[in-house]
Amino acid sequence: MDKLIEEKLNIWKNKLLGLEKDLEAIMQRRGEAAAMGDLSENAAFQLADEDADVYQTRIDEVKKIIQDLESSQGEN
């Protein structure tokens, strides 16, 4: 059972790394869009900002899954 949990942890940790890398790229895009000027009418900035929110939510969810798996591993 511990081996299965360990495998799941590895999968979710790899997923987390991928999401964090994607978020980093989004934040860079967001910064570049912000440099273009007026943020209230900047569609590229708004889209990147929305993407960042979505990715941050996904990252938080994956972190919770990892935390739950680590807790269940400690119980066994």
Structure confidence by residue, pLDDT tens digits, 44-73:
899 999 999 999 999 999 999 999 999 988
- Residue 62 CA: distances (Å) to CA of 4, 31, 44: 17, 25, 27
pTM for the structure as a whole = 0.86
In the chain, where the domains are located: 2-75
Predicted confidence (pLDDT) at residue 13 exceeds the cutoff of 80: yes
CATH of 2-75, one of 1.10.287, 2.40.128, 3.90.320, 2.60.40: 1.10.287
Structure tokens at 25: 């790229």
